[in-house]
Structures are given as C-alpha cells and as structure tokens.
Amino acid sequence: MTIAPAKLSDPAVRAFVAAVNSHDPEAFFALLTDDATMSDDGTDRDLADWTDREIFSSHGHMDVERESQGGRALTAGFRNDTWGEMRTAWRFTVTDDGRISRFETGQA
C-alpha cells in the first residue's frame, strides 16, 4: 500500500515527491536551499549530477510506503530506467522557511 504524495505530512517533502514523480527539475530545485547537500548510501554526492542521473534523465519515481518523523523520513519504492526498482529510505532536513537543506537516501 502506498501513500499518495498529496497525503504526505510535511509540505516540503510532499512537494519533493511530487516534483520527482512529475519529472520537474525546476520545481525540484526551487524546493532546495542554495547550499543544499545530499548523500546516497552514506556518501555525499554532487547534488546536481546525482539528481540528473538518478531522477530526471532516468525517469525516477517514488512510491511512498510509509512516513515517520513528522513526514521527514520516508520508506519508498524507488525506480528508474538505470537501476530498476528498489526499496529506499529517505531523510530530509527542512529549514524554518520550508525549504530542504539536505536529503539522504539509500537502500532500505
């Protein structure tokens, strides 16, 4: 059973998932702080390169299975044209103004 993106608790995370699933890099990057960072499986990555490769050019898609920590931690099925489908964990740091300053993902 998945949670529809519109039903996610945290507004920034809700918009993040919607931008990923609609393949909208402009909306995606508008959600992030100018100095946002990210990691994949515990290793910091270049955010622009990683998101292009893993999300936008490979048609990434998230099916959220559950949320915790007020909606700032997700378990989701993530699929793209490169790797197929895998179960992933996502954690978000959201600033007081509602933008994402960091996200961490990896296999769940």
Place 1 in a pLDDT band, splitting at 50, 70 and 90. Answer: confident
Confidence (pTM): 0.96
Domain spans of the chain, in order of start? 5-107
Amino acid occupying residue 70: G
**pLDDT per residue over 69-107, tens digit each?**
999 999 999 999 999 999 999 999 999 999 999 999 999
Residues 6+ apart with CB under 8 A from 38: 44, 45, 47, 50, 51, 102, 103, 104, 105
The pLDDT, as a whole number, for residue 9 is 97
The pLDDT, as a whole number, for residue 15 is 98
**Measured between alpha carbons, how far is 106 from 15 in angstroms, rounded to an integer?**
20
> Which backbone phi and psi does 36 adopt, to 5 degrees?
-60, 150
**pLDDT per residue over 15-74, tens digit each?**
999 999 999 999 999 999 999 999 999 999 999 999 999 999 999 999 999 999 999 999
The pLDDT, as a whole number, for residue 19 is 98
* Domain boundaries 5-107, corresponding CATH code: 3.10.450.50
